[in-house]
Every structure is written in C-alpha cells, then in structure tokens.
Amino acid sequence: MLTLVGATVGLLYLGVDRIVVARMQSRIGPPVVQPFRDVSKLMMKESIVPNGALRWLFQFSPIMCVMGSAVLLLYIPLFGQTALFEGSGDAILVIYLLTIPSLALVAGGFASSSPYASVGAQREMVVMIGYEFPLSITIVSLAWRITQITDANAFSLATMAQYPIWDLVGPLGFVGAFLLLLALIAVTPGELGRVPFDIAEAETELAGGLLVEYSGRNLALFYLGNAIRGLAVLSLVVALFFPYGIGAAAGLTSVAAITAVDALFFLLKVLLVMFVAVAVVRSAMARFKVNQASLFYVMAMTLVSLGGLLLLWLDMMI
C-alpha cells in the first residue's frame, strides 16, 4: 500500500515538475498526468532483451530498483507521521538504501551489453561516489549536534524531528546549518539523476545511456522506481531540516484533523524543496561533464558541508 501511495505521489510530482520547468522556459509542457500515461503505455508493451545481454540480471535490475526505492519509504517519515520502520539508526540505513536504486541502474546498464549503457553505468558510479561524501557529512553533522544536548539516539530520524537543528543553534550555527542544507539540496538533483547531473543518460551523447536497451514493462519499472526514489529523497530533506507540523500549532484538537493538515503541509514542503532543488536548477543549467560533476561534489560540496560542521562546532564552543 505504501509503495502504491509513494508511486502515485512520485509520478504526480514528476508531472508537476515538468509543467513548472516548461513554464519557466516559456513552454506549454505536458499535462500533469503525463507520467501516469507513460507508465501505463509502457506496461502494455513488450520487454525486449537484447542479444548478448546477461538475461537474468537485465530482467532483475528494474525489480531491484523498485524494491530498493520502496524500502526507503519504510524508514523515512512521510505525511507528517513517523516512519513505519522507525529505528535507532535509520538515518545511517537510509544512506545505504539510497545506493540500491543507483546500483540497480548500473547493473542493468552493464548487463545490457550496450556500449552506450556501459558508459552511462560508469558515469553513474562516478557521480554516486561523489555525492555520498556531502550527504554523509550532512547527516553525521546533524546527529553530532544532537548528541550534545540529549542521550537519545541521534541517528534516528525521529530524534532529528524531535530536535530540529534550527532550534539548537545560535547565529553562527544557523549559518552552518544553512550550509549543510545547501549541500543536501545540491545532492538532490544528483541523487535523482536530473539536470545538470543527468550525465548517465545524456540523450544527445549516449542515446539514453543506462536505459537505452530497456523497453516495455522493464522500462516502466525503472520509471516507477525513480519516481518513488524522488519522493523519498525530497522527503529526506524535509525530515532532516523541516520536520515541523502545523496541525497542533493551528489549535486543532481532532486527531484526524491534525493528521490531515500535517499531511497536506508535508506535501507542500516536499513541493517547495522540489521547486528549489530540482525545477529551478534544471531550468537554469546545462548538463555537467562527468569530471565537473565529480569535482563539484567531491571538492566543492564536501568543503561546504565540512564548513557547516565546523560552524556548528564553533557555535557550540562559543
């Protein structure tokens, strides 16, 4: 059920993103339901396996992409509620789970025996290695700051929601937290494979890259997996930096009313994060070269996240 909800909301946000970017570029754009139409059409088509492909891995990779993305939804707080599988170290687990859909894409690309897909898989691995550094530093920095004020498990997303970083810091720490947020926002389009980090697909260079040999139901599964992962990554940004609800603050007393208002507020926060981290960047920038993307994450964003950690430490010392 959660997977179905995640896929529906993820596809809906894909449609909204395409419309927003089209408007920002003075285009009409497709209807908001276009992602649903694409998936339904692909589901009715035949899945072709190319000659020379490693058949079992080629067929299993799309399933692994959907499964890995769906598992993420079990550990990330959604719709203003705690995660279904809330645990003591779920923030660390989420870092590992985020690699599964990317690894599924890489495995499928290599298994297809296509030179275009192989180059795309290599590029995906380079970008994935790059954005893991700032992502990990950001989560560790937030957890470290929480350990200074409570004995609760700091690597739990529920604990991070209970102790928002903005409530724990002074002016210097606020700047540090903003730098961490900036690093995480920069990670988001890379994690989702969006412009300027769509290097692994690069239609004009690699004819689709990783997915060039995929069709039919297999391609639809990758599409669904990416939509679910998109919701998960955007929700992670909200869970780490904006874990606020407005239902209780608005004076509502009914549990159902509070739950409904917080769910709508959550969807609004995810939409705003998507607009800033994906739509604005996608409409304003061109695709990076693979070495530019690697340097951007390994050097620039890693330094930004380390600067945020340093400012958090100085804020605590002062």
The string of DSSP letters for 169-182 reads --HHHHHHHHHHHH
In the prediction, which pLDDT does 86 show? 80
Cα–Cα distance for residue pair 236/242, rounded to 1 Å? 10
pLDDT digits (tens, 9 = 90+) for 99-158: 999 999 999 989 988 888 888 888 888 889 899 999 999 999 999 999 988 888 889 998
Helix, strand or coil for residue 80? coil
The token pair at 127 is: 């970008």
In the prediction, which pLDDT does 186 show? 94
- Which residues, including other chains, have CB under 8 Å from residue 90's CB and lie 6 or more apart? 75, 83, 155, 156, 157
User: Is the separation of the CB atoms in 298 and 126 below 8 Å?
Assistant: no
Cα–Cα distance for residue pair 60/64, rounded to 1 Å? 6
**Measured at the alpha carbon of residue 114, what is the angle toward residues 113 and 117, in degrees to the nearest 5?**
110
In the prediction, which pLDDT does 256 show? 84
The token pair at 75 is: 């550990």
The backbone region for 29, taken as left when phi is positive above 0, alpha when psi lies in -120 to 50, beta otherwise, is left
pLDDT (average), residues 83-100: 86
pLDDT digits (tens, 9 = 90+) for 147-160: 988 888 889 998 99
Instruction: State the average pLDDT for the chain.
Output: 90
Q: From the CB of residue 27, how many other CB atoms can be counted at a distance below 10 Å?
A: 11
Cα–Cα distance for residue pair 285/126, rounded to 1 Å? 20
Q: For the chain, which residues make up each domain, given as ranges?
A: 2-317
**Measured at the alpha carbon of residue 234, what is the angle toward residues 231 and 235, in degrees to the nearest 5?**
80
User: Is the separation of the CB atoms in 47 and 215 below 8 Å?
Assistant: yes
Alpha helices in the chain (DSSP H): 2-24, 34-43, 55-75, 90-97, 99-111, 115-147, 157-162, 171-192, 203-206, 216-241, 255-274, 280-284, 290-295, 302-317
The backbone region for 219, taken as left when phi is positive above 0, alpha when psi lies in -120 to 50, beta otherwise, is alpha
pLDDT (average), residues 45-61: 89
Give the global pTM: 0.94
In the prediction, which pLDDT does 202 show? 73
In the prediction, which pLDDT does 211 show? 86
